Amino acid sequence: MEIHVTLRSYQRKPGVYTQQMDDQVFLADPDTNVLFHLDPVGSAVWRLLEQPISIENIVDLLREAFPDEDADKVTSDVSVLFKQLSDSGLIIATDT
């Protein structure tokens, strides 16, 4: 018996403008007039969202990059960021 697991992946919504300023990113969606500010970690997540990627993969990458950070905090922070980006309409879900 073979089991297939479908992870939900996310990517940037097409048409969202990105403005880099130092280590921070500002996002603007011309369709909804939403403006959004990302801190350095959020900016790194945004770069990863250029291609479809799951929350789990992003959490794994951040845990590797920041091994001294509390794993539960990394997971929680990424989940909160994804909810904010999703609620603002700046990312779209895709099934892989």
Q: Residue 63 sits in which domain range?
A: 8-12+41-95
Sequence-ordered list of residues with C-beta below 8 angstroms from that of 62, at least 6 positions apart, any chain: 41, 44, 45, 69, 74, 78
> In this structure, is residue 30 part of a structural domain?
no
Query: Is the pLDDT confidence value at 1 over 70?
Result: no
Task: Please report whether residue 23 resides in a domain.
Answer: no
CA-wise closest residue to 29 among 94, 84, 89 = 89
Any domain includes 51: yes
Q: What is the pLDDT of residues 26-74, one digit of tens each?
A: 999 999 999 999 998 899 999 999 999 999 999 999 999 999 999 999 9
pTM of the model: 0.86
